[in-house]
Amino acid sequence: MKHWKETGELLSRAVRLAEAGGRAALATVVRIEGSSYRRPGAKFLVEEEGATAGGVSGGCLEADVSEVALQVIRSGESRVLRYETGGDDASVFGLGLGCNGTIEILVAPATTRGAIEASREILDLLSGDEAFAMSTPLRGEGAGRAAAHGPGASVPQATNDLFVETLTPPPALVVFGAGDDAIPLCSFAAEAGFRVTVVDHRPAALTQERFSRAFRLVSRRPAEGTTGLHVGPRAFAVVKTHGFAQDREWVRLLLAAGVPYVGLLGPRARGAKILSQIGADAAGRVFTPVGLDLGAEGPEQVSIAIVAELLAVRSSREPVSLREKEGAIHAG
């Protein structure tokens, strides 16, 4: 779910850099076997002056990829790198790696005229709400230059010489209530890959300065309904207006709209009272108190607990410590 956001941020950065006369290369994970911290489609931008953004691993490959990226910037020729890592911390390219997997990474010029033309087309699709595909030759003519395939277009089959990735719009999270405790929730959720909308009726609280990571800010009271909020079976919602009546009415509207996850801030008894008053039998969809039991204290830690629960619900995972998981920790 991070790929939509990451791709947009890195391509936008490359376009701005090219417009200023700078140069960069883009590294993309194109194939993995076994365990890997990042999945195919993860991206890492390396600028000529050394600045970087994004990532293709948990930090163990970026230094080496950066060196190769600088060579690609100078030569203008794409390269495919292959890293084989093992549980015995075997050294690969002078690096001590122990991820126990194989990773192939395409490193391609990102600021040539052709690359920027492709990036602008992809950015246009990323501004919408529909899934689309990108295909990138790994070798031969046109190696490293991505082509976009818009909604409904024919998509070529992936091969050893052609990387194909599908980008799906990020899940929507609608936060009802623009109090101070909603600021870290909006920030952490956006960073995790959610497209966050914040809803409140108070102009002083609902500002871009307070919610700089929000996708949308909507001034709304429950009496005005949910039209235009894009809440439905694919959305997530957290209700935290700190007003009992407002929370109750937002929960009523969200359940009627079919939202599968309605997080409700506050004690369990308060949540039970709200459900009793609206006559809702929605124990499976209302998460109250919202968030995982992490021993959280304060708005920042509570926000982390909420985002963790959102990720677990979205991936249909029962939250457990990774040390209890059998098999590759980053496998699907």
Which band of pLDDT confidence, cut at 50, 70 and 90, is reported for residue 291?
Answer: very high
Average pLDDT over residues 184-206: 96
The answer on pLDDT for 282 being more than 80 is no
Instruction: Map out the domains of the chain as residue ranges.
Output: 2-167, 172-314
DSSP secondary structure letter of residue 226: S
The answer on pLDDT for 247 being more than 70 is yes
The chain-wide mean pLDDT, for the chain, equals 91
Which band of pLDDT confidence, cut at 50, 70 and 90, is reported for residue 299?
Answer: very high
Amino acid at 302: V
pLDDT, tens digit (0-9, with 9 covering 90-100), for 83-103: 986 555 444 444 444 456 789
Task: Return the pLDDT at 35.
Answer: 66
Task: Return the pLDDT at 284.
Answer: 85
Task: Return the pLDDT at 92.
Answer: 47
> Which one of 3.90.440.10, 3.40.50.720, 3.30.1330.10, 3.20.20.450 gives the CATH number of domain 172-314?
3.40.50.720
Which band of pLDDT confidence, cut at 50, 70 and 90, is reported for residue 140?
Answer: confident
**Which SS3 state, helix, strand or coil, does residue 317 take?**
coil
Tell me if 32 sits within 8 A of 53, measured CB to CB: no
Average pLDDT over residues 279-288: 82
Rounded to whole angstroms, how far apart are CA atoms 63 and 226?
A: 47
Reference 93, options 136, 64, 72; nearest CA is: 64
Which band of pLDDT confidence, cut at 50, 70 and 90, is reported for residue 331?
Answer: low
Q: Report the chain's C-alpha Rg in angstroms.
A: 22
Cis status of the peptide bond prior to 289, with omega within 30 of 0: yes
Tell me which of 44 and 325 has the higher pLDDT.
44
From its phi and psi, is residue 300 left (phi > 0), alpha (psi between -120 and 50) or beta? alpha
pLDDT, tens digit (0-9, with 9 covering 90-100), for 12-67: 999 999 999 999 999 999 998 876 678 899 999 999 999 999 999 888 899 999 99
The answer on pLDDT for 280 being more than 80 is no
Average pLDDT over residues 187-213: 96
Amino acid at 10: L
Average pLDDT over residues 114-131: 94
272: which 2 tokens? Answer: 């039970």
Rounded to whole angstroms, how far apart are CA atoms 172 and 189?
A: 10
Reference 232, options 252, 258, 253; nearest CA is: 258
